[in-house]
Amino acid sequence: MHERCPACGLKFEREQGYFLGAMYISYGLALITIVFLSCGLWLGVGLSMEKAVIAAVLIFIPLSPPVAYFARVLWLHLDWAIDPERD
């Protein structure tokens, strides 16, 4: 990851452990996605709840890197809106 945005110069990591908040966002997004996938498989396909949850987790595994990157973007925007950087 770049230290600063090449377009606007925004410093991405303000301090050590800056993206810890993004981990919470990523966890929430993953949980919501897996719940919706498992409910869809349970109601739509007719799988048992246990099989639907396992299938939803397996379907979600390839989606985890994009969700993590999206969570970092959300965290950056949230942090910038609350506390803009002043150099």
How does pLDDT run across 14-48, given as a tens digit for each residue?
Answer: 777 788 889 999 999 999 999 999 999 999 999 99
Whether the CB-CB separation of 34 and 64 falls below 8 Å is answered with: no
The residue among 82 and 52 whose pLDDT is bigger is 52
Specify if 61 maps to a domain.
yes
Tell me if residue 39 falls in helix, strand or coil: helix
Specify if 13 maps to a domain.
no
12/27 Cα distance (integer angstroms): 20
33/31 Cα distance (integer angstroms): 5
| pTM score of the predicted model | 0.77
What is the domain count for the chain?
1
74/87 Cα distance (integer angstroms): 22
Specify if 63 maps to a domain.
yes
Specify if 58 maps to a domain.
yes
Tell me if residue 43 falls in helix, strand or coil: helix
The predicted pLDDT at position 81 comes to 87
